[in-house]
Amino acid sequence: MTRRRLALVLLLGGTLAAAERPAFLGYVFPAGGAPGSTVAVVCAGDGLGGTSVVAVGGAPGVTARIVDAGTPPAEMKLGKKKGAAVLDEQVKLELAIAPDAAPGLRTLVLLTPRGITNLRRFQVAPLPALREAEPNDRPAQHQAVTLPCCVDGQLQAGGDADGFRFRLRAGERLTARVDARRLVPYIADAVPGWCQAVLTLSDDAGRELLTVDDSGGEPDPRLEWTAPRDGQYRLTVRDAIWRGRADFVYRLQLGGADLPARPADPGVDLNARAGATTELAPPVVVGGVIAAPGQEDRFAFTAAAGTPIAIEAWAQRLGSAIDARLVLLGPDGAVVAASDDRVDAADGERTWHADPGLLATLPRDGRYVLRLHCVQDRSGPYRLRIGPPQPRSEVLATPAALVLAPGGCAAITLHAVRRDGDARALTVTCPPPLRLDGGVIPAGAGLVQATLFAPPGTPAGALRPQLRCGDQPVAPAEDQMQAFLWRHLVPQPELVAVVAGDPVSELTAAIPPGGLVLPAGKETAITVGVRRQPGRDGPIQFTLRDPPAGITLRGGKIAEQADSGKLTVRVNATVPAQEVNLIIEATLLLDPPPAPAAAASAGTASGSAAKPPPRPRQHLLLPALPVRITAAAKAKP
C-alpha cells in the first residue's frame, strides 16, 4: 500500500467555539494540478472564515499554505435558512505539488472557529493544466487548447456549457474524460445529487459526431473517437439537464490513446461456456462474457440437502456494462433463490448497485442449475463465485475528519457491513496516542456510536490514526447526503484527527468491573467526575446524544467547583435487551467576560443595574459508555 501522510499548516491555539451550524466545505477550485506545479486554489463553503489549519491527506507530495484565511463570521448571517449551507465564504490556499507526486486523489480539510469541515478532493494528473476562460458557451467563443491537457472548469448557473476547440489529424485517436462526480461525489440539495456531466463532440461546422453521458456504469463520461480526416473539432461540457452552480466543478482530461482507461477485467480465465451449461464443483470462481443481448449462461453443480451456499457475481464493479441477474433452480426445476441488484453499503460512491448475490440453504439432494443473464441489452465480462458462505465484515468509520482538544473526546460512528451472514461482535482498536472508547460493535448490529479521546498533553497537530478490526483496517468514510434524502458512506483515504485548542476539563464515569447494566423499567445512577482545568469552575450539565428509543437522562449535573456528580438513566420497561453505547454530552458554563469599566459606571450612575452578559459555554463529551440493557421481568399471571 502506498505510504500516506498529512501536511499540517499554521496551527493556532485557543478554544474552538461551538456553533449552531458546523463549517461546510462545498468545493475546491481548481480541483487539481500537475506534478511540479504550485496551484492557487479557492475553498468555498459556509463558516470557513478564520481557518487556522489545512490538512492534506492521501499519498505524499502535496503541501498547503494558507494565503487568505477569510474573515470569521461574528454570527449566523441574515437570510440564511437554519441548517442550509450557502457557499459564500472563501479561503485561499497555495498547494505545492512535488515533481514526483503520484497521480491520484488527495483530500483537503479545514479547521475553522466553527470546527472541522468535511473532506473535499483534489486531483493530481500528469497533464499540462489550464483553466477554462469564460465566455466559452457559443462556438465563436470556444477556447482553443492544445492536446494533451487538463482543463479545470465550473458549470455556472444559467445552463452553462463550456466549449473547447482543437486540431486532430486523420486517424488520430481522441480520448476525453471528465472527472466531476469523482471530485464532489454527492451534493445534498441537488437532483440528481451530483454534477451529471455530458460530453458532446462536433466538427468545425457544428455537426454533432458523438455524445457521451455515463461511461461503464460511472456517472462521469469518457469519450473515445478516431478522427476520419484532418481538421478542427470541438468538445463541449455541460450538465445533462442544463443545471449550473458553483460546486459543479470538473476536470476535463484531453489526450491521445495513452490516457488511462477503466479496465473491465474479470480477473480469472473466461472459462464459462457462453450460452450453454458449464458443470462445476464448488467452491469455484469462474469467469465469463455476455457477448450478445439475450444470452444466458448456465452453471450446474451437485449438492446435499441442508448445504449452505453463497453465490456472488461481479460485473459492474469490474467496469463491465452488464446488469447481471442470478436465478438458482433446484433439482425439481423450482426457483430456490434469485437476485438482481444487491446494495453494497461499503461501496458508497455507487448509487446503482447492479451486481447480484444470494445466500441460501439448499432444500434437497441433487443437481442445481444457476442461470446468469443481463437484464438489459448489454454485453460484457463477469466473474462468478459459488461455494460455502465466507462470513466476514468490513468496518467503516464516520466522519473521516474530526477535531479534539487535549483531554477531550470526539464522537465517531463505526459501521459494520456484514457479508455472508456474519453476525459476530466486532472489536475496533486505535493505536496511541488517541484512545477509542466503545469500540465494540455488538453481535448482529449494523453500527455503534463511539468516541476518540486525546489524553492530556497530546501535542497539537494532525494525526492519521489507523483504526483496525482484528487484522483488517477500518475504512474512514464521509456520511454524505444526495438529493435531499439519500445517504451514502463514501470511503476516504485516511482518518484525519486534528488535535487543537486549549486543554479542556477531562470527564470520566465510574463503571463497575463487570460493565454497566441498565435494567429495563428502572432507573440507574452513574457517578461522573471531572478533572477541571484552571479557571473552569462552573457547573456542568449533561444530556444524551441520539439515545436509543426509551432511554432518557433525568436530571444530572456537577455543581459549581465540584469534582463529581450523579446522573440518572431511565430505561422504559418496553426497551428490549440489547448492548449499546451511550454518548453523553456536557455543557460547562464559563465565567462571563468582565464588563467594560465605562459601561459599569454608566449603569451605576443611572440607578439601574446593567444586565449581565450571558455566560459562555464549553461543550464536552464523556467517553462512550458501553451498557448492557436487560429486559424487564415479566409479570406473574
β strands within 275-365, DSSP E: 277-279, 284-290, 296-303, 308-314, 324-329, 335-339, 357-361
Pick 7-124's CATH classification: 3.40.50.360, 2.60.40.10, 3.30.460.80, 3.30.930.10. Answer: 2.60.40.10
Q: Tell me the CATH class for 391-504.
A: mainly beta
Query: What's the topology of domain 129-255?
Result: Jelly Rolls (2.60.120)
State the pLDDT at residue 587: 94
The rounded mean pLDDT for the chain is 89
The helices-and-strands tally (H runs, E runs) of the chain is 1, 51
pLDDT exceeds 50 at position 11:
no
Dist. CA 307–CA 309, nearest whole Å: 6
State the pLDDT at residue 31: 97
The mean pLDDT value for 400-409 works out to: 96
The mean pLDDT value for 268-277 works out to: 72
Determine the CATH number of domain 277-387: 2.60.120.380
Short-list 371, 357, 271, 369, CA closest to 315: 357
State the pLDDT at residue 87: 81
Percent of residues, the chain, with pLDDT higher than 90: 78
pLDDT-wise least confident of 13-17, 434-438, 487-491: 13-17
Pick 506-592+614-637's CATH classification: 1.10.150.20, 3.40.50.12280, 2.40.440.10, 2.60.40.10. Answer: 2.60.40.10
Dist. CA 271–CA 387, nearest whole Å: 17
Type of residue at 440: V
The mean pLDDT value for 261-290 works out to: 76
For 562-576, write each residue's pLDDT tens digit. Answer: 999 999 999 999 999
The mean pLDDT value for 491-508 works out to: 94
For 463-479, write each residue's pLDDT tens digit. Answer: 999 999 999 999 999 99
pLDDT exceeds 80 at position 555:
no
Distance of CA 92 to the CA centre of its chain: 24
DSSP assignment letter at 76? P
What confidence tier does 76 reach under pLDDT thresholds 50, 70, 90?
very low
Of residues 516 and 607, which shows the higher confidence score? 516
β strands within 192-340, DSSP E: 197-203, 208-212, 222-226, 231-239, 249-255, 277-279, 284-290, 296-303, 308-314, 324-329, 335-339
Dist. CA 499–CA 466, nearest whole Å: 16
Short-list 345, 317, 315, 316, CA closest to 490: 345
For 212-265, write each residue's pLDDT tens digit. Answer: 998 767 899 999 999 999 999 999 999 999 999 999 999 999 985 455 554 445
Dist. CA 62–CA 122, nearest whole Å: 10
Question: Residue 382 is inside which H or E element, if any?
Answer: strand 380-387
For 585-637, write each residue's pLDDT tens digit. Answer: 999 998 776 666 554 455 554 555 667 777 788 999 999 999 999 998 776 66
State the pLDDT at residue 19: 42
State the pLDDT at residue 117: 95
State the pLDDT at residue 268: 55
The mean pLDDT value for 536-548 works out to: 94
pLDDT exceeds 50 at position 301:
yes
Percent of residues, the chain, with pLDDT higher than 70: 88
- Pair 71, 51: CB distance under 8 Å: no
Q: How far is CA 416 from CA 426, 447, 491, in A?
A: 8, 6, 13
User: At CA 167, angle to CA 161 and CA 168, rounded to 5?
Assistant: 115
Dist. CA 518–CA 524, nearest whole Å: 6
Question: Residue 505, class by beta-carbon neighbours within 10 Å (0-12 exposed, 13-18 middle, 19+ buried)?
Answer: buried
For 380-397, write each residue's pLDDT tens digit. Answer: 899 999 999 999 999 999
pLDDT exceeds 50 at position 454:
yes
Please report, for the chain, the start and end positions of each structural domain, with discontinuous segments joined by +: 7-124, 129-255, 277-387, 391-504, 506-592+614-637
What confidence tier does 86 reach under pLDDT thresholds 50, 70, 90?
low
The mean pLDDT value for 119-142 works out to: 95
State the pLDDT at residue 594: 66
Dist. CA 356–CA 316, nearest whole Å: 10
For 19-43, write each residue's pLDDT tens digit. Answer: 457 899 999 999 999 999 999 999 9
What confidence tier does 150 reach under pLDDT thresholds 50, 70, 90?
very high
Short-list 552, 548, 553, 547, CA closest to 576: 548
| 277-387 has the same fold as 7-124 | no
